[in-house]
Structure 1
Amino acid sequence: MAQSVIFKNMHVEWDVPIPMDDGVVLRADVFRPSADGRYPVLLSYGPYAKALPFQVGYRDQWEALIRDFPEVASGSSCKYANWEVVDPEKWVPQGYVCVRVDSRGTGRSPGVLDIFSPRETKDYYNCIEWAGTQPWSNGKVGLIGISYLAINQWLVAGLQPPHLVAMCPWEGAADYYRDWHRHGGILSSFTSTWFKNQVIPVQYGVGRKGYRNPYNGLLVAGDETLSDDELARNRMDPYLEALARELDGPWYRERSADWSKVVVPFLSCGNWGGHGLHLRGNVEAFLRAASKKKWLEIHGLEHWTHFYTDYGLNLQRRFFDYFLKGIDNGWDREPPVWLNVRYPGEEYVLRKEWEWPLARTQWTKWYLDPANSSLSGQIPHKESHATYHAMGQGITFWTPPFEKETEITGPVAAKVFISSSTTDADLFLVLRLFDPEGREVTFRGAVEPAAPVAQGWLRASHRKLDPDLSREWRPYHSHDEYQPLTPGEIYELDIEIWPTSIVVPPGYRLALTIQGRDFEREGETGQLETLGRFRGSGPFVHKDPWDRRLEIFGGQVTVYGGASRPSYLLLPVIPN
């Protein structure tokens, strides 16, 4: 039975039932103005347990956020602040209803846990339609949330629920294969760590073995306590499912956005430091979704930070005030692309643009010269090659010092000619920036504290391109066919490197590293209790021993350059 209280002119209801079409009843918390009326709804649906406070479940992130940005706690008791969803104390006084739903099989909602499944997406649809028809609703529902709670927005938007009016997916992947599980065809180990540490602890049925909400006394993961065997039977393991599916196919497609059906207005917010999860989907959405009213914003810092800062809050509020309240605040006249252009030293300058990639981009090729490990504006006169051990440090190619300040903003790509001593090769490409003294300039990424400028990946046997979707600046691989290598034979690979932004000062150099394993620094760069220790690539690493079998991926790889095999790095240079 739902419980309710009045708190600071806010009516709070816990465990409101939402019946599904198959008889399962999901549970939601509803925060609404205490005054009677009909209000627009901001809804989120996900697996992180609506009853688990931010500062309890994600203490490290919360303490850093409040320390660095005290504005986040200004005007709020923070007792209703939760991981990756809005703080209702920031929205309800502005005339919004905030609804949080525990997804099927998580928190206080029973059922089988199967993330991003068609069943879960249908549940989300039902929740939207339920919220749009409640007596406190004006019939207009908006979706908002970070990461998981952004990803499933793309999925449910494809079902086109009638009461869905607008949405703001904040740093959310959209392609379950390319953005999440298999970067360039290589299995990401992230899912295993994340699922074990962030989802299973709040699976429905953990009950007394889990958290208790200190503010309302409710058990975060349900009132009944199931055995470990029962819990295991009530969930699907997404990592094992992806491990069993190297090629793209129906399982990935039904958990990915269908851009032809995403027609709702949206504000898509990505992160320059989100390589591995928190960028590509946001950009692809802006490029390919059918919606006629869409905006792209890209920022920096940790992926949860600006969602809660005044910058992010004001951005979200303007967007939803326009679409959910009908306030003429000029949002419809805003340019569709907002870029926080990145400078060394974690400096960002907001600039508004009219398209992506930028029309004035000067696509600039830097050619690889294996003879001297350089990147040059001209194709090397002499043919050369260099070999590295796939599990070693790889090869790093350097530009000369830049003579003038140069902005690089947009998609990045590479064409690389290689051969392998085995029947396959995994290529990990890392773009980095160095100052005149040879010190690397790093950035606070979405999760990684010392992120490089950009990263890209490709399994050589997945080199086949989709001719309709591929562009020189964004190769698009079909991942529908396995094409093994003949040892010693030379192959041409086009590699997508996720978008970036960096203004290179005079005297600084760029470096492109090609190697056969995850980019890692010598020492630990940071850690999070829920995601482990990091060394340069955050939690987005590729270490499954079966997917990365040494007899296939642990050989010698040779990179070629020169007139007949012009390997190059393609950079989006933006003129002043």
Structure 2
Amino acid sequence: MALKRALLIAAAACSPFLPVVHSQNATVPEIVDGTIRIYGNDAYKIPYRRLMPTDAARARYPGFKQETLTLKNGTIRREGAKALTSDIVFERDVALTLRDGVTIYADVYRPVGDQQVPAIIAYSPYGKEVGGQNLDDSAGRAGVPLANVSDLQKFEAADPAYWVPQGYAIVNPDTRGAYASQGNITYWGRQLAEDGYDLVEWIATQPWSSGKVAMSGNSWLGVSQWFTAAEHPPHLTAIAPWEALADLYRHVTNRGGIPAPAFQESIITSLAGNGFVEDSPRLIVGEGLINQYWEDKIARLEEITVPAYIVASYQNVLHTHGSFDGFRRIQSESKWLRVHNSFEWPDYYVPEHVEDLRKFFDHFLKGLDNGWDKTERIRLAILDPGHEDELNRPVGTWPVDGTTPTRFYPQADGALSTTAFKNKTVASYEVGGNSSLLTFKYTVPDGELLEINGYSKVRFWVEANGSNDMELQFLLEKRAANGSAFAGFGATASNPTISSTEYIRVSHRALDTQRSTNFEPYLTHDREELLSAGQIVPIEVGLWPIAIRFHPGESFVLTISPVQPLTTALDAGSGVAAITIPAAGGTYEPGSNVPMITLGGVKSNPAFVDEQRVATPVGRNNGTHIFHFGGCYDSHLLLPLNITSIA
């Protein structure tokens, strides 16, 4: 059966077909064998799983319909959304053929008339109209008021109601395998990169196109920019990745070497189409070491030379490291970094940030001499919970020059000190006990204002009693003078406090000495080195970057704890919200009585979608975790500090 299905997948990828809708009642679980194009291998074998059908309620698919509409000035998409400020040509389900014969479909929003304009691509499989991912699925729309957008925008993407009046086209594709598009959905890598190239070059041939093409958007849309730009499509003129991981294995799926398929399950079960999707969760648990497959999921940042406006934050559990990595490693002569203090979605739609992005695009896509080239290359946010954050601090480099590398050593009383503890000491906890963690604390003295600004590192000597491995989380957070932590921000509970974190599976402690630096250990993840009884080994863990300020009496606390596997039954609620739009598509006059349809509003997936989930991984934490410091054990926390006297 698997071989037969694999052959059907291959045939479908090369044969044209009309879009069809599969009934969710007739669909059963299917995990099948197939191949994917990766760098260095044209037919790498992987598992695929059946996608949620497009007629499932949580797919929120308004249907396939090739048509051209004129959306009139003053009309709206939804009650409460922003009205259009100009007429917009809306071309729906426009077909384009990729290099391997697969046809995908895109929606195009552009100005009325014959003018040629630059285009902005929003590249993801989430649906180009409503779709399985939408801000309405998050509490409070994740801080993006409906009144601030038209709701014509694709999830995490530019709003046509703003950009078309500014003289741009917005192109929203359903990527390979998504909804009516042919083929199977892939997770970045070579296949997506080549598809992105083909889309850019197709846009450049359209009669309405000026030949200048850009990409913009958050998360998946940002990651897609790294991969597409590395292919050097000739007409790609600028990119604007707003929070984007750059190494799927190290930044999300197997962070620290620990398989974590739960988040991927929450995403993959929200995707819809007529075929299959690359079964990332099965590969997370089945291929736990870096190999050719995972190498394909590392963005080739050094290949990127196109102008770039990159946005990052310190608290994004998926994208923080990749966003900063992208800025540092791309080879573009024209690149800018802005670091904000909130979350990717509200930041993207703040009017002043939309204007900032337009200034960047106007400069590179329209050739306007608008002063963008005078914009500071790096603008940082300095977090200061309990006080007022500092925004848009201009600095010359990232990481910031002028910080002082400072070691803080754990003490027997739970303190951190710049002086090493003289005697060999141990601290421990029982895994699964009432207090399965260790904390070490440093309090800022009177008269000092302290900033941690950049990447930090933990070096610790560890031992496991009752297990041959350990899976650890290291968390560095700010505490108020009264000892309380500061609540994190964002759309999920993944960041309960404002902190810098990293994980490690101790058997994955091997370092690439060529790529590692004083502050940034680089784990190879190419082998396992299990612990033997009584063995004490050093580990080095690079905490994700942060810029945060501490006042006298406040403290930073290093917490060490065992990682608990997150259940793969995780359901983030994507596709649940009920969204009402015009039945005929497009927009309507406010207050008019037009037929409407409601998409979503159902909390359950088709049964087979959840039956395809992988089992929650069994963690490797058992027995007692023992931590050695003092004497010959040079365990310490290394921080990049700026200290100012305020006496």
User: TM-score, normalization: structure 2?
Assistant: 0.76
Kindly tell me: are residues 574 and 314 of structure 1, through their superposed partners in 2, closer, same or farther at Cα, counting changes over 3 Å?
Answer: farther
Letter in 2 for 1:554: N
TM alignment of 1:91-490, pairs within 5 A: 91-199=163-271, 203-205=272-274, 231=275, 234-275=276-317, 277-345=318-386, 347-350=388-391, 351-369=393-411, 371-392=412-433, 393-403=436-446, 404-421=448-465, 422-445=467-490, 447-448=492-493, 450-490=496-536
Q: 1:243 offset after TM fit, Å?
A: 1.1
2: CA distance, partners of 1:519 / 1:185: 13
Structure 1 residues 19 and 313, CA, compared in 2 at 3 Å: closer, same or farther?
same
Change (3 A) 1:354 1:439: same
- SS at the partner of 1:304? helix
The residue type equivalent to 1:296 in the other structure is L
Which whole-Å CA distance do the structure 1 matches of 2:166 and 2:394 have between them?
27
Q: Deviations over 1:124-180 (max 9, x none)?
A: 111011112211111111111110111111111111111111101111101121112
Q: 1:380 Cα shift?
A: 1.0
**Equivalents in 2 of 1:511, 1:470: separation in Å?**
25
Q: Distance in 1 between matches of 2:501 and 2:127?
A: 32
Could you tell me the percent identity over the aligned residues?
30
Query: Which residue of 94, 99, 112 maps to 1:21?
Result: 99
Q: Which runs of 5+ in 1 are unaligned?
A: 206-230, 521-525, 533-542
Q: Is the 8 A contact 1:402 1:509 kept in 2?
A: no
Change (3 A) 1:255 1:527: closer
Counterpart residue identity of residue 304, structure 1: W
Q: 1:147–1:402: structure 2 CA closer, same or farther, 3 Å change rule?
A: farther
16-25 or 92-101: bigger deviation: 16-25
Query: Per-residue displacement from partner, 1:361-397 (whole Å, max 9, x unpaired)?
Result: 112211112x211111111122211111234421111
2:633 to 547, 565, 570: 565
Q: Deviations over 1:495-554 (max 9, x none)?
A: 01111121112211111111112499xxxxx9952399xxxxxxxxxx9977444xx432
Shift of 1:69: 5.4
The structure-2 alpha-carbon separation of the partners of 1:146 and 1:296, relative to structure 1 and needing over 3 Å to count, comes to same
User: Cα distance 1:79–1:289, how it changes in 2: closer, same or farther (>3 A)?
Assistant: closer
**Equivalent residue letter for 1:502:** I
SS in structure 1 at match of 2:461: strand
Say whether the 8 Å CA contact 1:51–1:107 is kept in structure 2. Answer: no
Give the letter aligned to residue 15 of structure 1. D
Q: Distance in 2 between matches of 1:431 and 1:544?
A: 32
The one-letter code matched in structure 1 to 2:521 is P
Seen in structure 2, the aligned counterparts of structure 1 residues 544 and 286 have a Cα distance that, compared at 3 Å, is same
Q: Which moved more, 1:392-401 or 1:120-129?
A: 392-401
Whole-Å Cα distance in 2 between the matches of residues 86 and 546 of structure 1? 36
- 8 Å CA contact 1:182–1:188 kept in 2: the answer is yes
Q: Deviations for 1:419-444, whole angstroms, at most 9, x for unmatched residues?
A: 11222111101112221222212221
Please name the residue that 1:505 is paired with: 551
Q: In the superposition, relative to structure 1, how do residues 248 and 59 fare at CA in structure 2: closer, same or farther (>3 Å)? A: same
1:3 alignment counterpart: 67
Task: Give the match's secondary structure for 2:278.
Answer: coil
1:544/1:197 CA distance change after superposition, 3 Å: closer
Name the amino acid aligned to 2:361: F
Q: Unpaired runs of 5+ in structure 2?
A: 1-64, 74-86, 577-612
Amino acid aligned to 1:35: G
Q: Is the 8 A contact 2:476 2:500 kept in 1?
A: yes
Aligned residues of 2:386 and 2:480 also touching (Cα < 8 A): no
SS in 2 for 1:340: strand
CA contact (8 A) 1:346 1:443 kept: no
Q: Is the 8 A contact 1:375 1:398 kept in 2?
A: yes
TM-superposed deviation, 1:446? 5.8
Q: Is the 8 A contact 2:242 2:348 kept in 1?
A: yes
Q: How many residues align?
A: 521
Instruction: Evaluate the alpha carbon distance shift between residue 407 and residue 519 of structure 1 in structure 2; reply closer, same or farther with a 3 A threshold.
Output: farther
- SS of match in other structure, 2:373: helix
Judged with a 3 Å threshold, the aligned counterparts in structure 2 of structure 1 residues 528 and 4 are, in CA distance, closer, same or farther, namely same
> Secondary structure of 2:294's partner?
helix
Distance in 2 separating the partners of 1:97 and 1:531: 27
More deviation, 127-136/111-120:
111-120
Distance 2:88 2:178 in 1: 26
| Alignment partners' CA distance in 1, 2:486 and 2:139 | 26
* CA contact 1:383–1:563 (8 Å) conserved in 2: yes
Matches within 5 A, 1:57-96: 57-61=134-138, 63-65=140-142, 68=143, 70=145, 73-74=147-148, 76=149, 78-96=150-168
Confirm whether residue 556 of structure 1 aligns to residue 598 of structure 2: no
Could you say if the C-alpha distance between residues 452 and 348 of structure 1 is closer, same or farther in structure 2, counting changes exceeding 3 Å?
Answer: closer
Structure 1 contact 273–451 (Cα < 8 Å) conserved: no
Bigger radius of gyration: 2
User: Which whole-Å CA distance do the structure 1 matches of 2:225 and 2:151 have between them?
Assistant: 26
**Correspondence for 1:538:** none
Question: Could you tell me which residue of structure 2 aligns to residue 211 of structure 1?
Answer: none
2:116 is aligned with 1:38 = yes
Residue of structure 1 in register with 2:15 after alignment: none
Normalised by the size of structure 1, how large is the TM-score?
Answer: 0.85
Tell me how far apart the structure 1 counterparts of residues 131 and 250 of structure 2 sit (CA, whole Å).
32
Cα separation, 1, equivalents of 2:260 and 2:575: 13
Q: CA deviation at 1:411?
A: 1.0
Give the Cα separation in 2 of the matches to 1:105 and 1:265. Answer: 30
Shift of residue 310, structure 1, vs aligned partner: 1.6
Q: Does structure 1 retain, via aligned residues, the 8 Å contact 2:459–2:637? A: yes
Could you tell me which residue of structure 2 aligns to residue 215 of structure 1? none
**Which string of whole-angstrom CA distances, capped at 9 and with x for unpartnered residues, describes residues 70-121 of structure 1?**
5x734x5x24033111111111111111101111111231221222242232
**Structure 1 residues 439-461: Cα deviation after superposition (integer angstroms, max 9, x where no partner):** 21222136336333111111111
* C-alpha separation in 1, matches of 2:553 and 2:147: 41
Give the alignment's Cα RMSD to 1 decimal: 2.4
* In structure 1, distance between residues paired with 2:127 and 2:106: 10
Q: Which residue of 513, 516, 522 corresponds with 2:562? A: 516
Distance 2:107 2:389 in 1: 36
Task: Answer yes or no: is the 8 Å Cα contact 1:402–1:504 preserved in 2.
Answer: no
Partner SS for 1:140: strand
1: CA distance between counterparts of 2:565 and 2:339?
24
Q: State the secondary structure of the residue aligned to 2:123.
A: strand
Q: Which amino acid aligns with 2:417?
A: S
- Residue in 1 that maps onto 2:54: none
Is residue 282–residue 296 contact of structure 1 (8 Å, CA) maintained in 2? no
Find the residue that maps to 2:265 and give its secondary structure.
Answer: helix
